[in-house]
Amino acid sequence: MINWNIFKFLIEDVPKKDKSFSREPLNKEIRKTIRNRDKNCCKICSGIRHLNVHHIIPNGSVKKENLILLCCYCHEFVHKHLRHKGYYYFRSSQMFFYG
The tally of domains found in the chain comes to 1
81: left (phi over 0), alpha (psi -120 to 50) or beta: alpha
Residue 84, domain member (yes or no): yes
pLDDT at residue 26 tops 50 = yes
Q: pTM for this one? A: 0.75
Angstrom distance (rounded) from CA 78 to CA 4:
11
- The residues pairing with 2 across neighbouring beta strands, listed in sequence order, are none
Residue 94 lies in a domain: yes
Q: Give residue 66's domain range.
A: 36-99
Residue 41 within a domain: yes
Torsion (CA) 12, 78, 18, 34 in degrees, nearest 10: 100
Is residue 6 assigned to a domain? no
Q: What is the pLDDT, as a whole number, of residue 19?
A: 55
